[in-house]
């Protein structure tokens, strides 16, 4: 299934049904009078979060949602039926913005959460509602109120407990594949991963969701590479696992590039708890590992965990550190 995390759609609630102008006329009934019924309410546009969805791809092919209008009123004081509501199902983690893409309208963070996005129009009053002592035979009825309509943006921010960050080819996809049942594409060139990948980690009879976030390079906050498109997915993570390719020459610069992008993006990403791991240690000697960990600890002020996602070296220790942070 193709991943899509942003979509623009048009929604319109149903218009209210019109009221009826009718008079009671029956044989052998001495007194008649107005008996026009009211119109029915237009259908609502309702948005509901579902945990079995993980992409907005459906909205690429279905972008217009219009609820049914209310039925018109009828004689004999019969009120028109309400229009049918439309329920739009979105993944958990979806945010709804107005057309300007800046004003947040709703944020769906729990399964089953729902809201009425557009209210259906109220039905018009029939002529029976206008009867009075001075107007015994009103010939007036209201039309229904138009339903609300909007152009909105849907933006998906994946809900994961931990997020994988690092420069391209740091081994994020390999780590995800080694620790979960996810099967991301793995290759020896940058930007192999073009969309976020999720996997469930099982460790010591516990589990948590791990997300691989692609596209972080120098200048990403300015639109370089894949830009800021996927940085929003780590806003909801409790902890970040920063993977650094131990085989590159300047590992300190690699660490600082990612940290600078988190600061420039905003949303207080730089304040999230971070665990730093030096990956691909299977290709390094013990002396090289010690030297590079010492250099990293001077700039990150955290304990650096040497790991190898390929061989599994100290991966379990890294996962336990992640879960310890999530559960605390």
Same structural domain for residues 97 and 191? no
- Alpha-carbon distance of 53 to 92, in angstroms, equals 7
Q: Is 281 annotated as a binding residue?
A: yes
Q: Is 142 annotated as a binding residue?
A: no
Residue 215 is predicted with a pLDDT of 61
Does a structural domain hold residue 190?
A: yes
Q: Is 220 annotated as a binding residue?
A: no
Same structural domain for residues 134 and 273? no
Same structural domain for residues 150 and 252? no
Q: Is 52 annotated as a binding residue?
A: no
User: Of 141, 156, 171, which residue constitutes the final position of a domain?
Assistant: 156
Same structural domain for residues 134 and 200? no
Q: Is 214 annotated as a binding residue?
A: yes
User: Of 156, 178, 210, which residue constitutes the final position of a domain?
Assistant: 156
Q: Is 173 annotated as a binding residue?
A: yes
Number of domains making up the chain: 2
Smallest CA-to-CA distance from 177 within 309, 276, 28 is with 309
Q: Is 188 annotated as a binding residue?
A: no
Pairing type for strands 94-98 and 64-66 reads: unpaired
- Alpha-carbon distance of 278 to 170, in angstroms, equals 9
Q: Is 172 annotated as a binding residue?
A: yes
> Hey, is 62 helix, strand or coil?
coil
Same structural domain for residues 86 and 213? no
Same structural domain for residues 208 and 279? yes
Same structural domain for residues 169 and 289? yes
Q: Is 7 annotated as a binding residue?
A: no
State which residues form the domain around 237.
162-327
Q: Is 280 annotated as a binding residue?
A: yes
Does a structural domain hold residue 1?
A: no
Q: What is the pLDDT along the chain (328 residues), one digit of tens a residue?
A: 467 888 999 999 999 999 999 998 888 777 788 999 999 999 999 999 998 888 898 898 899 999 999 999 999 999 999 999 999 999 998 999 999 988 999 999 999 999 999 999 999 999 999 999 899 889 999 999 999 999 999 998 877 889 888 888 888 888 988 998 877 666 555 555 566 788 889 999 998 989 888 766 665 545 554 556 677 777 888 899 999 998 888 889 989 888 888 888 777 778 888 899 999 999 888 899 999 998 888 888 778 999 999 999 999 999 999 999 998 7
Q: Is 191 annotated as a binding residue?
A: yes
Does a structural domain hold residue 111?
A: yes
Same structural domain for residues 86 and 197? no
Q: Is 166 annotated as a binding residue?
A: yes
Does a structural domain hold residue 91?
A: yes
Q: Is 295 annotated as a binding residue?
A: no
Does a structural domain hold residue 104?
A: yes
Residue 221 is predicted with a pLDDT of 47
Same structural domain for residues 121 and 37? yes
* Domain CATH number, residue 193: 3.40.50.300
Q: Is 245 annotated as a binding residue?
A: no
Long-range Cβ pairs for the range 28-34 (8 Å, 24+): 33/128, 33/131, 33/136, 33/137, 34/126, 34/127, 34/128, 34/130, 34/131, 34/137, 34/138
Quickly count helices (H) and strands (E) in the chain.
Answer: 5, 16
Does a structural domain hold residue 233?
A: yes
* Domain CATH number, residue 120: 2.70.210.12
Q: Is 22 annotated as a binding residue?
A: no
Element (H, E) at 288: helix 286-300
User: Of 156, 186, 212, which residue constitutes the final position of a domain?
Assistant: 156
Residue 190 is predicted with a pLDDT of 55
Burial 201-230 (b: 16+ CB within 10 A, else e): beeeeeebbbbbbbbbbbebbeeebbebbb
Q: Is 279 annotated as a binding residue?
A: yes
Same structural domain for residues 115 and 178? no
Q: Is 170 annotated as a binding residue?
A: yes
Supply 256's token pair: 């600082």
Same structural domain for residues 64 and 138? yes
Residue 22 is predicted with a pLDDT of 94
Same structural domain for residues 137 and 272? no
Residue 313 is predicted with a pLDDT of 92
């Amino acid at each position: 299934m193709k991943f899509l995390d942003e979509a623009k759609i048009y929604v319109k609630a149903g218009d209210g049904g019109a009221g009826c102008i009718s008079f009671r006329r029956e044989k052998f009934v001495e007194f008649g009078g107005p008996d026009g019924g009211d119109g029915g309410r237009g259908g609502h546009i309702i948005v509901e979060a579902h945990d079995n969805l993980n992409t907005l791809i459906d909205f690429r092919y279905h972008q217009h949602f219009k609820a049914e209008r209310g039925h018109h009123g009828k004689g004999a004081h019969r009120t028109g039926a309400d229009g049918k509501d439309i329920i739009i199902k979105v993944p958990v983690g979806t945010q709804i913005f107005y057309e300007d893409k800046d004003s947040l309208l709703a944020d769906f963070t729990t399964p089953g959460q729902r809201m009425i996005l557009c209210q259906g129009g109220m039905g018009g009053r029939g002529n029976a509602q206008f009867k009075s002592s001075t107007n015994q035979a009103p010939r007036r009825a209201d039309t229904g109120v138009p339903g609300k309509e909007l152009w909105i943006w849907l933006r998906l921010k994946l809900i994961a407990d931990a997020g994988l960050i690092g420069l391209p080819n740091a081994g994020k996809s390999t780590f995800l594949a080694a620790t979960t049942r996810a099967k991301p594409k793995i290759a020896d060139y940058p930007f192999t991963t073009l969309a976020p990948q999720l996997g469930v980690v099982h460790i010591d009879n516990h589990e948590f969701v791990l997300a691989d976030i692609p596209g972080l390079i120098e200048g990403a906050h300015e639109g370089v590479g894949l830009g800021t498109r996927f940085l929003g997915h780590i806003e909801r993570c409790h902890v970040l696992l920063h993977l650094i390719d131990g085989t590159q020459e300047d590992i300190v610069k690699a660490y600082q590039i990612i940290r600078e992008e988190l600061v420039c993006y905003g949303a207080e990403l730089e304040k999230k708890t971070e665990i730093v791991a030096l990956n691909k240690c299977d290709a390094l000697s013990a002396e090289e590992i010690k030297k590079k960990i010492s250099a990293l600890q001077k700039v990150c002020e955290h304990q650096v965990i040497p790991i190898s996602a390929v061989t599994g070296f100290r991966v379990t220790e890294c996962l336990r550190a992640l879960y310890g942070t999530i559960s605390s």
